[in-house]
Amino acid sequence: MPARIVEIVDDLIKVQVSGLLTSTELAEVQKRTAQHIDETGPIRYLIVADNFLGWAKEGDWGNVSFQAEYDAYIEKMALVGNKEWEELVVLFTGQGVRRFPIRYFLHAEIDKAHAWIMEPA
């Protein structure tokens, strides 16, 4: 599966993304995140993209209901991936528009990403 939650530890949700991301897979990650937020409160995202190939053309990419309802409960988002995807991934996640800080890190900086995501928001 190209997008899946691989670990939840307290308020940190770790997501693995690989291959071609579909809107259905993203919606499933968002659904599980919403359930966790409803049960425990605010979260942080650490999203790692390995062998990421982009976004599938099909699907409902315009659905922003998760953002509208849950952005207030996301404290930070760290994205880890290849340099070639940085601009598009940051644009896709809405860096600078959403209510919480979003930072992109290269794979070699995974430890730095983890340290940043754990710092106070």
Q: Which residues contact 14 (CB under 8 A, 6 or more apart)?
A: 5, 6, 7, 8, 46, 47, 48
Residue 64 in 3-state DSSP?
coil
Tell me the pLDDT tens digit for each residue of 46-80.
999 999 999 999 999 999 999 999 999 999 999 99
DSSP 3-state percent helix, strand, coil across the chain (nearest 5) = 40, 35, 25
Residue showing tokens 């890190």: 105
Model-level pTM? 0.94
Whole-angstrom distance, CA of residue 25 vs CA of residue 23: 5
